[in-house]
Structure 1
């Protein structure tokens, strides 16, 4: 139990984030802590002048019979604040050094390549802020859709089968694709910069300690309050890929030999990247955009819990039983689409495996 008068640390910032959700920002650790609106009210009284008992008595004045229940809730809340290092005198949680470039987390160590993106992107971001936001999003979306349509139609209608392409082209395409991935992440960073929530760094994460994945640290995206802005931030990389897909299609049609083969491989990789980024089963850009647009959290978990309980004819838990009929149907539809999507990926992967093995062997001269 907190005995001394609890007090929030002076440097903490209480803000309203996405969907007007209250957050506590700790500038020392760089972490955001989500709280309820009722908890936000309690924070205003944690000024070090009231003890725990004073607070219980104050909040239970209309109904003294609720003092015990309020006391337990307050104890839990204060314990969480202390554990997170948000109260004066509490130990701060361990944090990576601000200057460090290597951070570790379960199954995904991260290497920060640069923290200078906000400074590098600000001139472009400032110019784009002068353009009406809706017009900017409309143009970016239309060009991306046209780019995907043109590039992928070129892949399937104008390019030779993958088995007939030269092996060295695969290695060249892989190198160019790494640049496209960098541009994908930079697009997220640019939109964050435009929205006033600059990224903290650009780096490489090693998924399962061996698979390199580029990423930008968008922790401060919590400050973006409008759903539309968060959707665009999530979709920025996919839109960027659409532009490059169109350019690759133009290059593929206007070149021959090794260059054409390289462009063909690139189009195939861009198709794969689109499939991955729209995967509803993973925390992909598409899934993040869906959550941002709907305001839901853990939509995937709810959807599969509904499917599982429905298939087994089990009673729904309270958090699912209280969903409206429309919300329940939406979650069910999302779950079914996810299952179909995974089945399609499994089918495509099985049929693409022989071609993939041939390409790998040809790339090393076998």
Structure 2
């Protein structure tokens, strides 16, 4: 990942960052050497060097053991009384995989697209998306009736079509991953912060692709595909009447909300992932929330956070606090939007 060495755990499918020195040590962990053998081999009979290496090797082996990466080890748990398997669910986003067959389904199309110059594909997708968003949202704000006039069966139809758009959004991510040779692991549904259902594709293995441009394109693929569908909704809205026009208008409103959510850099969204890929930053949100958690609990910071400069630490703290505020605002907005949504849903059955 940006030339940072990673350990891949085939049991959990997780990646773990290590240093270059750790990468060298790993080449000697082949099961034939004890800890003392390893120190003696690397120090080459230099007693002073052996003492320094002893501390470093012990720290490294302890970290591997806590992560469950040594034969017979298990990941260290915050609560020792809990018994869980090695496969763990994210605390902030429980996930359910619906299918793992997307790579097989998408490979024929991916093989055709690989023959087209990558820059040309990205240019066409980006220009089409920008034009689609501009046209669709201009139609929404300039030519559509007010929301209260759109109640009825159109809400139910728009919700169904929007689910199809979301599926196509995630399929776009999967298609780009397939083109890049890092197939997604599956398509599923997650509950963001336990209250917001979102579809997703597991593209963890994008770390294997060398090159930030490809990873940025992979992160933005869904947003680019949404722009094309936004144009489609705008065309239907301008060239129809009655329930079809109302459905298209509601779809445009839903697509605007989806774009705002997907571009938000403060959540694990496409925009955040693209920023990570473009900047080379890794897990900025995770570090920010870990800093907040340890600060509130007055706990000692782990080594990777303690080494951050004061400026970086303040930046991560500010980022974490802003993220918490955003989540609270989002939850508040969703709570107050429930009555409106219920009214639209009841209008489907004439109540």
Which category of TM-score, normalised to the shorter sequence, fits these structures? 0.7 to 0.9
| Displacement of 1:106 | 3.3
Q: Alpha carbons of 1:37 and 1:318: their partners in 2 closer, same or farther (altered >3 Å)?
A: closer
* Aligned-residue CA RMSD (Å): 3.6
Q: Alpha carbons of 1:56 and 1:298: their partners in 2 closer, same or farther (altered >3 Å)?
A: same
What does 1:132-143 align with in structure 2 at a 5 Å threshold?
A: 132-143=117-128
| Displacement of 1:65 | 2.8
CA contact (8 A) 1:163 1:355 kept: no
Q: Which residue of 1 aligns with 2:103?
A: 118
Paired positions, count? 330
Q: Which residue of 1 aligns with 2:308?
A: 319
Q: Which residue of 2 aligns with 1:288?
A: 273
Q: Which residue of 1 aligns with 2:33?
A: 50
Separation in 2, partners of 1:24, 1:301: 19
Separation in 2, partners of 1:53, 1:210: 51
Separation in 1, partners of 2:5, 2:321: 33
| Displacement of 1:340 | 11
**1:267-298 deviation per Cα after TM superposition (whole angstroms, max 9, x unaligned):** 00000000111112211110110011000124
Give yes or no for the alignment of 1:152 onto 2:137: yes
TM-score calculated relative to the size of structure 1 = 0.77
What does 1:187-206 align with in structure 2 at a 5 Å threshold?
A: 187-206=172-191
Q: Which residue of 1 aligns with 2:299?
A: none
Bigger shift: residues 182-191 or 111-120: 111-120
Bigger shift: residues 153-162 or 70-79: 70-79
Pairing partner for 1:25 from 2, 5, 8? 8
What does 1:30-179 align with in structure 2 at a 5 Å threshold?
A: 30-61=13-44, 64-87=47-70, 89-91=71-73, 94-95=85-86, 105-106=90-91, 108-179=93-164
Q: Which residue of 2 aligns with 1:100?
A: none
Unmatched segments (≥5 aa) in structure 1:
1-17, 97-102, 306-316
**1:231-264 deviation per Cα after TM superposition (whole angstroms, max 9, x unaligned):** 1111111111111111111111111100100000
Q: Which residue of 1 aligns with 2:219?
A: 234
Separation in 2, partners of 1:107, 1:318: 26
TM-score calculated relative to the size of structure 2 = 0.80
Q: Alpha carbons of 1:107 and 1:226: their partners in 2 closer, same or farther (altered >3 Å)?
A: closer
Q: Alpha carbons of 1:27 and 1:358: their partners in 2 closer, same or farther (altered >3 Å)?
A: closer
Q: Alpha carbons of 1:72 and 1:202: their partners in 2 closer, same or farther (altered >3 Å)?
A: same
CA contact (8 A) 1:228 1:293 kept: yes
Q: Alpha carbons of 1:334 and 1:136: their partners in 2 closer, same or farther (altered >3 Å)?
A: farther
Separation in 2, partners of 1:299, 1:26: 22
| Displacement of 1:77 | 1.5
CA contact (8 A) 2:97 2:189 kept: yes
Bigger shift: residues 72-81 or 26-35: 26-35
| Displacement of 1:182 | 0.6
CA contact (8 A) 1:166 1:258 kept: no
Pairing partner for 2:238 from 242, 245, 253? 253
Separation in 1, partners of 2:338, 2:194: 24
CA contact (8 A) 2:156 2:345 kept: no
Give the SS at the match of 1:192: helix
Unmatched segments (≥5 aa) in structure 2:
76-84, 292-305
| Displacement of 1:167 | 2.0
| Displacement of 1:54 | 2.8
| Displacement of 1:113 | 1.8
